[in-house]
């Protein structure tokens, strides 16, 4: 599980650097040849700016003799940085607040790396597909599927959409308590007998200090929610990031919303699981096929 993942664990290092005196055409050649998106500008051992692919494109489109320009002429000097011990969530907030895609990482006054939106999306897939607020969501009506005939006491769900398939704006939630029996049954069915989930004494010595629910079992609640969307939902892919542990006996709630229609029958959804206090413990995205429910149902 991801627990306060530090920037140093996801950043690119060493950072690629350039001087302000470098010709802009040479900087462009480096970006191309090294397959990178930015160069951090340094002067006298200090970080003074950054130049990106977007800066190069803007220069190329400008009028006049752009080949005579240097990095110092076009670099961004309103530099936003972050420390290596900051969390990935801190980096996400800084990138979004400043509307940028790359953050030089500076520790003890020295440049130690660069972290980008692409780096972060590898660990937090939901960052690449932020949850939108859709007008269509307010137009959905509650819908109970005719084929959800296997409900149990203590399970709760609400599905909002239409009866003949799913559409952008449809959403669903599913809640259940993940108890000791669930953990033991999952360990047996999956073969995941990690003692963190099964052995109190062992778990006390871990970073969590107690036994917790398998992360895959927690994210499996997303699948339970998707099964309650209108139509027959078939998984194509699921990306998840684990943001915190779930205690045994905790009640969790999965939330899924259709945010994009990719083809006639393929859809992208945002997915999340919250604990009983409303804290997000799993986030991600899914792609599904939506088939019609068989007539026999």
Average pLDDT of span 180-191? 97
271 within 8 A of 125, measured Cβ to Cβ: no
What's residue 49's pLDDT? 92
User: DSSP readout, 178-204?
Assistant: E-HHHHHHHHHHH----HHHH-HHHHH
pLDDT confidence bin for 85, thresholds 50/70/90: very high
pLDDT of residue 57: 84
Could you give phi then psi for residue 200, rounded to 5 degrees? Answer: -60, -45
What gap in Å lies between CA 15 and CA 114, rounded to an integer? 6
Q: Where in the chain is the domain with CATH 3.10.129.10?
A: 135-291
User: Looking at residue 135, what is its pLDDT?
Assistant: 46
Tokens of 176: 């259940």
The answer to which of 98-107, 144-153, 231-240, 254-263 has the lowest mean pLDDT is 144-153
**CA-CA distance, 67 to 183, in Å (whole number)?**
64
Distance CA 92, CA 68 (A): 36
Task: Look at the block and give the residue holding tokens 């050649």.
Answer: 29
86 backbone dihedrals φ, ψ, rounded to 5°: -65, 155
The answer on pLDDT for 217 being more than 80 is yes
Q: Please state, in angstroms and rounded to a whole number, the distance separating the CA atoms of residues 32 and 36.
A: 7
Residue 22: the pLDDT is: 94
> What average pLDDT does range 245-271 have in this prediction?
93
DSSP track, 130-149: PPP--GGGGG-EE---TT--
For residue 127, the model assigns a pLDDT of 56
In which element (H, E) is residue 290 found?
strand 280-291
Average pLDDT over residues 66-80: 86
Distance of CA 212 to the CA centre of its chain: 22
Burial of 271 (0-12, 13-18, 19+ CB in 10 A): buried
pLDDT category of residue 63 using cuts at 50, 70 and 90: low
pLDDT(220) > 90:
yes
- In the chain, CATH 3.10.580.10 covers 7-123
Other C-beta atoms lying within 10 Å of the C-beta of residue 84? 17
7-123 CATH fold:
CBS-domain (3.10.580)
Number of C-beta neighbours around residue 59 at 10 A: 19
Task: Quote the pLDDT of residue 169.
Answer: 86
For the cut 90, the answer to whether the pLDDT of residue 184 exceeds it is yes
Q: Report the chain's mean pLDDT, rounded to a whole number.
A: 85
> Tell me: the pLDDT tens digits for 34-51?
989 899 999 888 899 999
Residues 189-213: pLDDT tens digits? 999 999 999 999 999 999 999 999 9
Strand 102-107, strand 141-142: pairing: unpaired
pLDDT at residue 132 is higher than 50: no
Which residue would you say has higher pLDDT here, 63 or 278? 278
pLDDT tier at 62, thresholds 50, 70, 90: low
% of the chain at pLDDT higher than 90: 51
Q: How confident is the model at residue 55 (pLDDT cuts 50, 70, 90)?
A: confident
Predicted local distance difference test score (pLDDT) of residue 144: 52
Topology of domain 135-291 in CATH is: Thiol Ester Dehydrase; Chain A (3.10.129)
- What is the SS3 assignment for 114? strand
Q: Which helix (H) or strand (E) holds 60?
A: helix 53-61
Task: Select the highest-mean-pLDDT range: 73-82, 244-253, 257-266.
Answer: 244-253
What is the structure's pLDDT at 4?
64
Per-residue pLDDT, averaged over 288-293, amounts to 87
Q: Are 8 and 110 in contact (CB under 8 A)?
A: no
């Amino acid at each position: 599980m991801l627990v306060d993942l530090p920037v140093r664990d996801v950043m690119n290092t060493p950072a690629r650097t350039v001087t302000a005196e470098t010709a802009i055409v040479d900087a462009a050649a480096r970006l191309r040849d090294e397959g990178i998106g930015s160069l951090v500008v340094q002067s006298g051992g200090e970080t003074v700016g950054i130049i990106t692919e977007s800066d190069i494109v803007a220069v190329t489109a400008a009028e006049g003799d752009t080949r005579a320009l240097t990095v110092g002429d076009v670099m961004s000097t309103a530099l936003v940085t972050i420390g290596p011990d900051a969390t990935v969530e801190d980096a996400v907030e800084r990138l979004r607040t400043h509307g940028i895609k790359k953050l030089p990482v500076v520790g003890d006054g020295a440049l130690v790396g660069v972290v980008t939106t692409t780096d972060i999306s590898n660990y937090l897939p939901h960052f690449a597909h932020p949850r939108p607020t859709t007008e269509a969501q307010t137009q959905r009506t509650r819908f109970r599927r005719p084929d959800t005939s296997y409900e149990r006491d203590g399970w709760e769900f609400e599905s909002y959409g239409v009866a003949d398939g799913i559409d952008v704006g449809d959403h669903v939630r599913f809640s259940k308590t993940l108890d000791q029996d669930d953990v033991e049954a999952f360990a047996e069915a999956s073969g995941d007998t990690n003692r963190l989930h099964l052995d109190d004494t062992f778990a006390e010595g871990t970073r969590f200090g107690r036994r917790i629910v398998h992360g895959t079992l927690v994210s499996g609640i997303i699948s339970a929610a998707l099964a309650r969307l209108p139509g027959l939902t078939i998984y194509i892919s699921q990306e998840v990031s684990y943001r915190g542990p779930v205690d045994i006996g905790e009640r969790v709630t999965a939330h899924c919303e259709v945010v994009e229609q990719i083809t006639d029958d393929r859809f992208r959804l945002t997915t999340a699981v919250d604990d009983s206090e409303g804290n997000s413990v799993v986030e991600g995205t899914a792609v599904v096929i939506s088939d019609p429910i068989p007539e026999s149902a």
